[in-house]
A and B are shown apart, each in its own frame.
Chain A
């Protein structure tokens, strides 16, 4: 199959890009390995400033917009496993085939993010789930992950999904901490985990907000967190248990319990251990951009902690270091769906200019960049308190690459 643009990923960013490209009259292949378009929008349902963010509804709107353009071909249930230069632009290899190769003059990579696992003793037992899996089960398919579960790892994603699970009638023993580990960088020490909680921006009613100001001081934070009640403190209905760590999953055929321990306040050593009955365990080390296709295409990338991982160095039009290869959405930094949609629009405008031989002068991207910034400010969830710094860092890396021979 030969098209003008291949969009990889039919989540918020990819759908937004495909809609704009369809409207511009291009022949587009929209590829996704999931059977239903929408990506992770499908499970999102959050309360936000007295409103409800209904991801499923947002996805339907984006999908309907793409459907009106008959030049957009849907290639669902297909994975892109290779991306190579071809005389006309790029060749994408698909599995399963039909078609086995898509030739495209330009490519938009919108492959999103992936969940970072937290290793725990016995974590291969059925019933141990990535927190996002529990969201997909509950919100998309109406399948309860269990009767009573526990969430290991505190971050914006696990808080949001824990809230969703409670609303769906699933009971939770709360959000407990991952065992402190200097070797697993996403986890770090217990105090690293606490610092990240204090830095969270949750939509509207973050009860730690007032206390949080004082908790930037290490000793205040460590005193309050380590002296929290064993049963935890309620945060938007979810019990956060900051001084309780998960040490092992229990069960033989499937999860039957979780081994927990309380830590001593002075040195984070384990003080007492006990078991609590649960029939599922969600582990959550946060989200990280998916770098696979960038690596395959030898795109220049950088590790930007504020954007949650390895991201391509892109121009303000979203073009990577490889000509004709654009990147949008969570693949270029973990942010909310609103930002991903705005990035999808920008990427599509960049591709349009590229295919029409128009200038990709980065000053011309200002209006679209402004819309992304607005979306960032309006977002219900900030996945990193210093996202702005990450974006600036990436921009500096791009400008630096212009100067490079």
Chain B
């Protein structure tokens, strides 16, 4: 289970199409924070910036579209070479506003 700590492997992934470095296996939110990206999405109603809060999957504040699936928790999702993540701006599952 030490594959994330034994030999850190630097990979490249994409957020909103822009390349970012990350350490293979660490959560997406950690790689983005290290690169200075703290806004992981915008509130669906107010448009306010939202980001990491609890970092252990409880609060769902860090929802992003990852691997083509919406509302994935960026604090849990392991980053890997070529992974595509997107910041979300529109409501989900609520139909058209």
Contact = CB atoms under 8 A, between A and B. Distances in A.
Given A35-B27, A137-B33, A143-B34, A63 B55 contact: no
B54 A115 contact: yes
B58 A114 contact: yes
A130 interface: yes
A127 B51 contact: yes
Contacts of A35: 4, 25, 27, 76, 78
Contacts of A129: 52-55
A72 B17 CA distance: 40
The bracket for how many chain B residues form the interface is 20 to 34
A254 B51 contact: yes
The bracket for how many chain A residues form the interface is 20 to 34
Nearest to B51: A126
A181 interface: no
A36 B76 contact: no
B54 A132 contact: yes
Interface string B46-74: 00111111111111010000000000000
B40 interface: yes
Given A35-B27, A125-B49, A253-B39, A132 B76 contact: no
Contacts of A133: 52-56, 75
Contacts of B34: 143
Interface string B32-48: 01100011100100001
Contact of B33 (A114, A143, A253): A143
B51 A137 contact: no
B81 interface: no
Interface in A285-336: none
Nearest to B43: A124
Contacts of B39: 126, 253-254
Which has the most chain B C-beta neighbours within 10 Å: A63, A126, A136, A137? A126
A141 interface: yes
A253 B4 CA distance: 31
A153 interface: no
A57 to B, nearest CB: 12
Interface in A91-133: 114-115, 124-130, 132-133
Interface in A22-37: 33-37
B1 interface: yes
A33 B56 CA distance: 9
Contacts of A79: 57
B1 A132 contact: no
Interface string A175-211: 0000000000000000000000000000000000000
Contact of A34 (B33, B51, B56, B59): B56
Interface of A: 33-38, 40, 60, 63, 67, 77, 79, 114-115, 124-130, 132-133, 136-137, 141, 143, 145, 253-254
12 contacts: A34-B56, A35-B78, A60-B2, A77-B76, A79-B57, A125-B49, A125-B51, A126-B51, A132-B56, A136-B56, A141-B23, A143-B33
